[in-house]
Structure 1
């Protein structure tokens, strides 16, 4: 939109009188005021910023190192930009299933194996899994803001009709916003994270990313559906990895991300 501002402005500008210096000066002042008015009227898209702390940088470097070890390559870029580069490389020359399995291995490598086994055996069965779901929700909200941005714990409706604070709402996921890719979100985050918590910690998890506003809802204690509509999402318009493709399905055209 910023590129349209000069054209928008000049369409309302009065043609200056070349022979009058005073008019030229007056026109310049009007031009500056008009441009300032337009720029302040068109407010930028609001976004929630999370300020990383010391431990956040430690977590970022640890996660990136584990991902680079799995990929066998690391980016020259520093910080979060480098992490996104490595996440892109994780999908190169791999099928979706291979990418998901690699991401699960990365998540497992972040925890002592005995800790995961003990949690699954001792904590997960308590109160039909509700205690474990609430615990991992709180830990996720506290420890993963460096990756996703501002998170808050909220209530989730469980299949048995009860409601417990086992949800995590990500106001605007930085990982999705920076990667700009549905495939990276689905195959390196959503699907492997769901599988990791279920298979290795005994906690069902449903993640519901919103590709319009980049928010995401974690629902610990909720089992993902067999047919997840997220897997049929189209590419983002800003996606650097793929353009929209048309896939014929029963005489209709469905737009679907080729990497989801």
Structure 2
């Protein structure tokens, strides 16, 4: 009975031994013998490498992911009209509609004609698409000036998104002054659809530069960026000589849609052609129609 009472009244925590009065207990911090650290995670290196690889492939993923366009009725009308003019010039037909039809005609042209012929066929298509009277009026009534360069840049951005994709006007320095004469195409629709460097340079860059300069009186340098598929159109700036143009030294994409067609990173047939240099440098083109039947001489 006494043992039970003592057990119930006993403190659950053990009491310290009594110290003599006047004696203070001294507490000492324990000495640090070792520091325990977390064992290195062998997976962390792998995670870091994966992150780096992911960053490197982010740009590639953006290129392989195809842009979806919801073309308006005006865009569809313009695309089908240009595609029809291109088919009429080349004599090549296909049953596709919309931008796919335009891209298919471009692909067929690239596979069946030489680069020189490709330039001429595109020029012929553009001259068919726009009445000569309108071209002459623009060329005569709008001499090259700051207004014309900025007007061309703004007009291209507003009315040609259906052809090249979304774009914006950017500022550059021209003759020591700031001008809004540059069109930055964020991701070229034509290059994305065809996925071919050769088609970009031979079916877009060269003929477009030639057409805008000689038919509209405006020099323009088109500078494609094949890494991100963007492009810049610099109005008022003469393009470099083809032999020195970086665009013609670019190898084609590994996933090119025309891998079966032999590609050339530099068009040697163009370098030795007085026809092409005549078009780009306004030299004598009196024999152009005879040497190059795909171009109407009177347009130059």
Q: TM-score, normalised by structure 1?
A: 0.73
Partner residue of 1:83?
102
Equivalent-residue separation in structure 2 for 1:258 and 1:123 (angstroms): 34
CA contact (8 A) 2:139 2:216 kept: yes
Q: Deviations along 1:65-84, whole A, 9 cap, x unmatched?
A: 00110111221222222211
Deviation for aligned residue 1:258: 6.6
Partner residue of 2:162?
146
CA contact (8 A) 1:242 1:258 kept: no
CA contact (8 A) 2:95 2:101 kept: yes
Equivalent-residue separation in structure 2 for 1:96 and 1:119 (angstroms): 29
Partner residue of 1:181?
196
Gaps of 5+ in 1: 1-41, 247-254
Partner residue of 1:204?
219
Equivalent-residue separation in structure 1 for 2:255 and 2:127 (angstroms): 31
Q: TM-score, normalised by structure 2?
A: 0.63
CA contact (8 A) 1:124 1:131 kept: no
Aligned-pair Cα RMSD in Å: 2.6
Partner residue of 2:257?
240
Gaps of 5+ in 2: 1-56, 271-300
Partner residue of 2:42?
none
Partner residue of 1:135?
151
- Larger Rg over CA atoms: 2
Equivalent-residue separation in structure 1 for 2:109 and 2:138 (angstroms): 29
Equivalenced residues, count? 208
Deviation for aligned residue 1:92: 3.0
1:171 and 2:186 aligned:
yes
SS at match of 1:203: coil
Deviation for aligned residue 1:219: 0.6
Equivalent-residue separation in structure 2 for 1:50 and 1:241 (angstroms): 23
